[in-house]
Amino acid sequence: MDHESPCIHCGFCLPVCPTYDVLGTEMDGPRGRLMLMDGLDDGRIDASPAVLEHLDLCLGCRACETACPSGVPYGAKLTATREAFCNDPVRPLARRRLERLVLQGVALPPWLLRLGMRLAWPFVASGLLARVARWLPGRAGAALGLLAATTPATQGPPPFTAAATSRDDGRHPRVALLTGCISSALFGDVSRAAARLLAGTGCDVVVPTGQVCCGALHRHAGDRAGATRLLKRNIVAFEAAGDIDHVVVDAAGCGSALKEAHELLGDDPAWADRARRFSSSVRDALELLDELGLPPTQRAVPATVACHDACHLTHAQQLHGLSSRLLGQLPGVVLAPLPSADRCCGSAGLYSLLHPQVADALGRAKVATILDSGADVLTAANPGCLMHLARHAAPNATRRRPDGGDRWSADDNDVATGTTQRTAPQGASVGARRRAPSSASPTALHPLILLDRACSLDDDDRGAPSERRLAAASEDLTPAAHRPAASNS
């Protein structure tokens, strides 16, 4: 692990820390956690259940890193600590087992994940899953609720394309799209939108075969071996795609993990250079579109849009305001200012499954600001955020009270309604009228779906999901087609 952090204890990071805001204790904020991690490093502090719980309760959102004037590398420190203690028997067995189960599940072959989603889809569409989720307590309910709130894309990601062995003319960037994970089972239309938009800018787009899950969830949870194994497979797959300029990722969490993934192989002489090359070529799809410029717009997109800035785009990749900047260029789009747009929504990898109480408080608070903004569409450039926010924006979301866990310090009623000063996002006008989630819930979309609708030529490739999602956004606020399903938030 790293040695003592250069923290000067100024506390500038405390107001931006969502868990400090919700839980209100020093050890649930960045400054306290750094002291715990330093103490674990040099042996002054034992890895007791309480100490590891404070560290587990960190979202890994890295808002503290953005706020820190001393450049404390909080994310790297947290990752190293989690790697050291992820299998420690002091951590609750149930939590370790759930982590293991999910991490093994997301690393299954993409075709198997897509098949699983197809089989599950009738239960989602009929509302049965949402009804079951509502009655299931804790983590099981949270997991089913996420799935129930998501309309799986009926299209998969773009088909694999042949390896590119030589450039056509050397003038157009050649990009390779990452589609190898569970998000392709739920958000395949987002990857198709990315491919169409990049092709529209003049890029040659390939989708390498043999690619797998990027390992972001593994890294986030401290499973270094799992993340390294997946990274090696992806390096091989993308190298086989030939001469490419960029690996393009359409999920903020995946992009941030891959940009830093070379650290996993830095000490391995056989892989270090290949890993460095791979990581340095990674770009978020929005980042690249911002750099290259959008293709010419083909049509207006009438929608009032609130952009949630995913933590792993804003804080981990330091790409600020990308969605607003790109969507603001579209005719018909009205941007609804969102206070604290870069504040974590509570999704955070596996966090919403492992710590549903805190995750739900943050999800409700985020949705409250979105409802206040008057937007009919909310965008997030990360699948986890989309699922978590859709679940909390669901018209029939249950205002269930937290079950009163012993670390919960905020008042249950206030947390459940998202009106407490403690849970109100920083910058939101406390005391302002907040609409309760109603039948007019905003539609959750990846920004690439709106950009694709505006900028891509109509063709047979555009599938039903993006059309339905757009119809949901701009014509009817609560259509059956892509309304977040009722869930148990």
Q: How far apart, in whole angstroms, are the C-alpha atoms of residue 196 and residue 170?
A: 20
Nearer to ligand SF4, 274 or 308 (CB): 308
Q: Which of 108, 120, 115, 111 is nearest to 150 (CA)?
A: 120
How many residues in the shown chain lie near ligand SF4 by CB under 6 A?
A: 27
Contact map string, positions 49 to 78, toward ligand SF4, x by CB under 6 A: ---------xxxxxxx--xx-x-x-x----
Nearer to ligand SF4, 16 or 175 (CB): 16
**SS3 letters for 329-385?**
CCCCEEECCCCCCCCCCCCCCCHHHHCHHHHHHHHHHHHHHHHHHCCCEEECCCHHH
> Min. distance of Cβ 14 from ligand SF4 in angstroms?
7
Q: Which residues on neighbouring strands pair with residue 221, listed in sequence order?
A: none
Give the binding range for ligand SF4 (CB under 6 A) out of 1-9, 109-117, 258-266, 291-299: 1-9
Q: What is the DSSP letter of 445?
A: E
Nearer to ligand SF4, 12 or 123 (CB): 12
> Min. distance of Cβ 35 from ligand SF4 in angstroms?
9
Helix axes 224-239, 252-260, angle to 10 degrees: 90
- Residue 268 is encoded by which pair of tokens? 């391995």
Determine the 3-state secondary structure of 85 from DSSP.
helix
Q: How far apart, in whole angstroms, are the C-alpha atoms of residue 50 and residue 419?
A: 29
Q: Is 17 in the site for ligand SF4 (CB under 6 A)?
A: yes
> What part of residues 30-49 is at the interface with ligand SF4 (CB under 6 A)?
30-31, 33-34
Side by side, the strands of the sheet bearing 174-177 are 204-206, 174-177, 246-249, 282-284
- Residue 40 is encoded by which pair of tokens? 């674990």
Nearer to ligand SF4, 12 or 121 (CB): 12
Degrees, nearest 5: CA angle 333-339-345: 95
Nearer to ligand SF4, 68 or 194 (CB): 68
> Min. distance of Cβ 316 from ligand SF4 in angstroms?
10
Q: What is the dihedral of CA 121, 125, 126, 129, to 10 degrees?
A: 60
> Min. distance of Cβ 441 from ligand SF4 in angstroms?
27
- Residue 13 is encoded by which pair of tokens? 């990071």
Nearer to ligand SF4, 13 or 113 (CB): 13
Report the residue from 2, 4, 8, 128 that binds ligand SF4 according to the rule CB under 6 A.
Answer: 8
Q: Which residue has the tokens 């993340």?
A: 227
Report the residue from 1, 11, 320, 321 that binds ligand SF4 according to the rule CB under 6 A.
Answer: 11
Q: Is 385 in the site for ligand SF4 (CB under 6 A)?
A: no
User: Pairing mode, if any, of strands 303-307 and 246-249?
Assistant: unpaired
Nearer to ligand SF4, 141 or 255 (CB): 255
Q: Which residues on neighbouring strands pair with residue 443, listed in sequence order?
A: 377
Nearer to ligand SF4, 16 or 214 (CB): 16
> Min. distance of Cβ 19 from ligand SF4 in angstroms?
4
Give the binding range for ligand SF4 (CB under 6 A) out of 14-22, 168-176, 377-385, 465-473: 14-22
Nearer to ligand SF4, 67 or 359 (CB): 67
> Quick one: which H or E segment has residue 206?
strand 204-206
Q: Is 219 in the site for ligand SF4 (CB under 6 A)?
A: no
* C-alpha R_g of the chain: 21
Q: How far apart, in whole angstroms, are the C-alpha atoms of residue 489 and residue 487?
A: 6
Nearer to ligand SF4, 7 or 244 (CB): 7
Task: Kindly list the residues in this chain that would bind ligand SF4 in the complex (CB under 6 A).
Answer: 7-13, 16-19, 30-31, 33-34, 58-64, 67-68, 70, 72, 74
